[in-house]
Structures are given as C-alpha cells and as structure tokens.
C-alpha cells in the first residue's frame, strides 16, 4: 500500500497530527499534575473578598496581545487557623464568583497561596477541552490520509 497524496495534503496531515499529538500530550500531562495535586491536598473554605476584570498582556515582545481576565481575591483559612490570600483567575467556562461567596479550595501545605478552586470547571474543563481539540486534530489528519489516498 503506497500513499499517493499530493505533497500539500500530506504536509497538512502531518501538521494536524503533530498539533493534535502535542495537545493530547499537554492535556494528559496537566491532568496528571492536577490529579497529583489533589491527592496530597488539604481542603479549606475561603471567602471571595473582591472580584474584578483586568487586561493581561500575553505573548512575546514582538507580538503582544491583551486578553480580558476575571480574577477573584479569596481569603482562605487554613487548618492551622492561619489565613492566606489567594488570587484565582477564572475563565468563561466557570461560574461567576460573587463578593462574600464561600468557596471550597484545595491547597498544598507548603504553598497554600497556590490553592485551587474545587469544582469541575476550574479543575478539569480546560484539560478536557484540550483533549477534545487534540483528538479533532488527529482525526482530521487521519481523514486527510484516509480520504485522499
């Protein structure tokens, strides 16, 4: 069996396959990191003290862009009684946080200021989105090769 794909289609299929594979790798790696974080985490309840939107610059100095970010300042009371301020940036897929709202957080004892909100959207939605997108890219590569061979 030999492939008789035109070079541009073969190149496109390779780019799709590489991009999809990279997205799948990153998603799985991030999911494993999140799972490991949660397995050794302590849990506490925090109070949202402030919610605001601000622009964050992303990219290199040659190609900078600004994106709107929602941030919540949360006061977390640790098991020891100590309080820590946590900044939680949240995306469009997460529910809007309100000042005074009580939220559940997972944190590591050695770095409680890096606590994570405990809900499906905050912990897993981004990773699942990357898994789906990576699968679509790999599927598109497969279809290019399968249909045009």
Q: In angstroms, what CA-CA distances link 146 with 1, 9, 27, 133?
A: 12, 11, 26, 20
Instruction: Give the span between the Cα atoms of 140 and 17, in whole angstroms.
Output: 8
Burial of 64 (C-beta count, 10 Å sphere; 0-12/13-18/19+): exposed
Can you name the residues that pair with 42 across neighbouring β-strands? 107
Whole-model pTM? 0.75
Distance CA 42, CA 80 (A): 11
Mean pLDDT by 10 residues, the chain (149 residues): 72 94 96 95 93 73 70 90 89 77 93 91 90 97 85
Per-residue pLDDT, 122: 86
Q: Given this model, what pLDDT does residue 73 score?
A: 92
Q: Count of alpha carbons within 13 Å of 107, Cβ hemisphere only?
A: 27
């Amino acid at each position: 069996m030999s492939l008789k794909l035109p070079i541009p289609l073969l190149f496109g299929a390779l780019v799709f396959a590489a991009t999809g594979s990279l997205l799948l790798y990153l998603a799985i790696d991030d999911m494993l990191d999140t799972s490991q974080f949660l397995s050794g985490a302590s849990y506490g309840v925090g109070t949202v003290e402030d919610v605001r939107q601000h622009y964050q610059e992303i990219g290199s100095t040659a190609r900078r862009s600004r994106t709107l970010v929602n941030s919540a300042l949360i006061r977390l009371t640790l098991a020891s009684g100590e309080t820590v301020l946590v900044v939680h940036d949240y995306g469009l897929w997460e529910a809007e946080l309100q000042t005074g709202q009580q939220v559940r957080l997972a944190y590591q004892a050695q770095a409680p200021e890096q606590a994570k909100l405990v809900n499906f959207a905050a912990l897993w939605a981004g990773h699942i989105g990357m898994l789906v997108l990576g699968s679509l890219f790999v599927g598109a590569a497969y279809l290019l090769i399968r249909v045009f061979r």
